Amino acid sequence: MTSASPLPLDSAAILGGGLMGRLLALALAQAGCRVDLYEAGSADAEGAAARVAAAMLAPLAESAVAPAPLVRMGLHALERWPQWLATLAEPVFFQREGTLVLWHRQDAAEAQRLARVLEATVRTVPELPAMQQVDSAGLAALEPSLGQRFARGLFLPGEGQLDNRALLAAMHATLRAHPRVALHWQASRSPDDFTPGRAGQPDWVFDCRGLGAKPQWNALRGVRGEVIRVHAPEVGLQRPTRLVHPRYPLYIAPKPGGMFVIGATEIESEDRSPASVRSTLELLSAAYAVHSGFAEARIIEIATQCRPTLPDNLPDIRQPRPRVLQINGLYRHGFMIAPAMLDIVLQLLQAGHSPLAEHFGLPGLARLGAHDATPLETSICP
């Protein structure tokens, strides 16, 4: 699980109870720290971006919009997630059956462009399993219900997914039962509320609030996403499936119990109002074009949320003052990279530098840079 090296802190306050906050709270508690987790919302993570997600672990597929460092982080996380899930109090659905990419005949040129991007990614990150071109017979072998609907596709082996809401619930149950963890829901806090290292204060403060940290990190912006959850027991898709389209590339992620998460939209806006009729119709029409069984699906939820994003669309870690770390900017790749971000943070705490960040190609995360008020290595010890 976490590194065997001891951490130089006995207590921590974690601000934000979304994906990153819960992961960090578990890691610190398992390492022997006393942890207080503060979240402005409720235990069900209703306001967290992690709740409105498909939780696909697809580094090669995401390389269409993600640079090589994030691809490497995604590969790392694919190995780390099963280790994390084994420590939780409740089981969580996890699979690595690969990703299937499809397109309609009129979008063949767009599919060829995507294939070239994926091939270039594999050359840059040779640890990735190579993608496979499949014909209708190959498609039928992977997904029997699709072999007659599509002539060609791409198969990206080794990619995975998990059940995001089951994961959030299982982490909550595990934290709630842990003797070194105190959970504070409906309790909004900022780093300014603490003086870490002083008597009666936590040794360290970790800010994982996503867009809630915007007052302290002005560069953050929200990128809107819209996701539809449907119950479609007649649809037999076994793995995440993506549809190439020049305007609204679609993903369909099957979850346990005949549930499917359908999404595609990405809008540069912090608007969290309900989804529009247009985007809803486009998502559902595209899903129906992949599998006609969605015609009889029951719509369970249409949800919107904004993902915390930095100007370069890359995650970052800052130390604005001694013993305070800000972890943010996971954008649309939260589940794909969160375990890698966590391991970087643990290395920074243990040694003041992160070989993992250097391996991923993120030298700015290997040591806290000039934009930080205090270099981490000068204040690493309590």
Q: Determine the pLDDT at residue 280.
A: 93
Number of neighbours of residue 46 by Cβ within 10 angstroms = 9
Tell me the β-bridge partners of 155: 100, 132
Q: Determine the pLDDT at residue 247.
A: 77
Distance of CA 174 to the CA centre of its chain: 20
Q: Determine the pLDDT at residue 249.
A: 78
- C-alpha closest to that of 225 among 248, 255, 258: 248
CB 244 within 8 A of CB 110: yes
Q: Determine the pLDDT at residue 243.
A: 96
Measured between its terminal Cα atoms, the distance across the chain in Å is 24
Q: Determine the pLDDT at residue 5.
A: 54
- C-alpha closest to that of 322 among 372, 366, 364: 372
3-state SS, residue 155: strand
Q: Determine the pLDDT at residue 47.
A: 84
Q: Determine the pLDDT at residue 245.
A: 84
pTM of the model: 0.94
The segments of the chain whose pLDDT lies below 70 read 1-5, 265, 368-382
Q: Determine the pLDDT at residue 6.
A: 78
Number of neighbours of residue 361 by Cβ within 10 angstroms = 17
